[in-house]
Amino acid sequence: MRKSPHIVCLLSMLCLATPFAQAELVVGNGTYPSQSGSGSIVFFADSAGGNVAPLRSLVPGNANPIVTANSVEFEPSENVLYVADFWGQAIRVYDARASGAAAPLRTMNAPLLGQVRAVRVDRAHDEMVAIARMRSIVTWPRLANGGNVNPIRNIPWGGNNVSASQLNNPAGIALNRRRGEIVVGDYKDDSAAGYPNRILIYSRLSDGSAATPLRVIEGPSTQLGGRSNVRVAVDEETQTIFAVVGPPDTDPQHSARVIAFAADAVGDATPLRVIYGPFASMVMASGEYPSGLGFDENSGHILVSIATTDPSARGRIVVHSRFAYGGAFPLAVLQGANTGFGSSPGTAAVTFDRIFKDGFDG
């Protein structure tokens, strides 16, 4: 069967106009401003592992005033990266293909933002949600720019009976867009109970001092432990919540854990799966701790960031399958002097070419 010359011409034009799609693993450096690599963002092939050099880097400079890159969120429809700059007290938005000291496309630094730990994007509602001032969950317009920007909603800190939110010291945030929920990693301010770790789940419409969680995941059966920051991610396809926590006090292996829960889990829920141990590359050396958790919906990969308090050492990224459990070997581990990581890699993300995501450009 002969193809129409018009079809052949159209296919040829598409092939010439559309480069081969290459997903990239993107990692920000959330190290202290005085430490090497602070604020830089490094890009790797998504299949990279070992002590490899990045494909390119985005670095601070005269046009790019970023101080630290504590978390990175890829937004495919605009093909940009949303970066939480903790010490710079800003959310900075970059072209996903940027390199060198390229200037951000937008910088949102409203006074309410303060030291921002993480940012997530809800494209369907044109919003971005951030951990603001290390203690509140605040929603702004997605395209917000500059400092004179009012929030859309604010779930305030819950300490000292300020509000009903139960927020204490939130370190991780994720969105379950299909359920219209915000998932927050935190711990309870209860010294007698050992500061138990917990996951708070809110409606995306929660607002004001009366805002309360829809559900709370906490208790001994959860294996969330206590006394550590809780980073979270959501697999929306399988409706799974992931949390990474530091080693329990009673663990002789001193292993961090990635714990999976059903999206509708509540209370003292039993995990679906737990990744831990030396074979899974989750054992923490002295001074190491989990510093971020990302998830790639396209590959189904969990992206665990491990940091260290030793400023002369380098952190690492451990990649696992969404269905990994126990002592499963990681799919990849990125670590070493060539990676460009500082001591504290932040929450990572994976980019992709949207043309190959849905078959269309836009």
Q: 3-state DSSP call for residue 250?
A: coil
Structural domain of 339: 20-358
Q: What is the pLDDT of residue 160?
A: 75
Residue 4 vs residue 154, higher pLDDT: 154
Residue pLDDT, tens place only, 72-104: 999 999 999 999 999 999 999 999 999 999 999
**Whole-number Å distance between alpha carbons of 204 and 159:** 21
**Whole-number Å distance between alpha carbons of 59 and 45:** 18
Is there a domain that residue 1 lies in? no
Q: What is the pLDDT of residue 353?
A: 62
Give the CB-side neighbour count of residue 140, counting CA atoms within 13 A: 26
CA distances from 343 to 38, 119, 314 (A): 9, 21, 4
Is there a domain that residue 179 lies in? yes
Is there a domain that residue 14 lies in? no
CB 222 within 8 A of CB 271: yes
Is there a domain that residue 7 lies in? no
pLDDT tier, 69 (very low <50, low <70, confident <90, very high otherwise): very high
Is there a domain that residue 2 lies in? no
Q: Of 356, 343, 355, which is closest to residue 40 (Cα–Cα)?
A: 343
pLDDT tier, 300 (very low <50, low <70, confident <90, very high otherwise): very high
Q: Of 83, 3, 95, which is closest to residue 38 (Cα–Cα)?
A: 83
Give the CB-side neighbour count of residue 276, counting CA atoms within 13 A: 19
The C-alpha torsion from 15 through 19 and 22 to 26, rounded to 10°, is: -150
Domain at 345, CATH number: 2.130.10.10
CA distances from 107 to 128, 141, 148, 187 (A): 13, 13, 11, 30
What's the structural domain count of the chain?
1
User: What is the average pLDDT across 49-55?
Assistant: 96
Is there a domain that residue 94 lies in? yes
**Whole-number Å distance between alpha carbons of 253 and 361:** 48
Q: What is the pLDDT of residue 359?
A: 42
**Whole-number Å distance between alpha carbons of 24 and 191:** 42
Is there a domain that residue 157 lies in? yes
Residue 31 vs residue 160, higher pLDDT: 31
Q: What is the pLDDT of residue 32?
A: 84
Residue pLDDT, tens place only, 228-284: 899 999 999 999 999 999 998 888 899 999 999 999 999 999 999 999 999 999 999
Is there a domain that residue 5 lies in? no
Distance in angstroms between the alpha carbons of the first and the last residue of the chain: 32
Per the rule left: phi > 0, alpha: psi between -120 and 50, beta: everything else, 62 is alpha
